[in-house]
Amino acid sequence: MRAKDKIAIKAALWFAEIGDIPKTYRALKEDYPKGKPDVVLRRTWGKFYRSWDVFIDQVSKLAPELSAIAQEPVQDEPVEESKDPLEALRASTVEK
């Protein structure tokens, strides 16, 4: 696997982790000022890709599943509280 492909796949992993693919490099810098991996910094991907758009296209091409996760993060379903049937009965008798 080529180095540029490894960079794109590692970036896809990080995008899936944060649940977002920034539209521009400037948005990336503004939204995530700290804690970014080196693969999403311009000094790393800029050696192989001419622009952020080309880089993101390659990320989407090489790791479509991860890109889908990043663009639409999985929503956690709300957990229903299990109610005790006797609790409802007790509440109704107390109100009378």
**Residue 90: inside a domain, yes or no?**
no
Examine residue 47 and state whether it is found in any structural domain, yes or no. Answer: yes
Residue 16 lies in a domain: yes
Q: What is the pLDDT of residues 23-80, one digit of tens each?
A: 999 999 998 888 889 999 999 999 999 999 999 999 999 988 888 888 775 566 665 6
Q: Is the overall model pTM greater than 0.75, yes or no?
A: no
Q: Which two tokens stand for residue 79?
A: 């957990």
**What's the number of domains the chain is made of?**
1
The answer to the question of residue 94 being in a domain is no
* CB burial string 62-95: b at 16+ within 10 A, e below: bbeebbebbeeeeeeeeeeeeeeeeeeeeeeeee
Instruction: Report the 10 Å Cβ neighbour count for 49.
Output: 19
Is residue 43 within 8 Å of 7, Cβ to Cβ? no
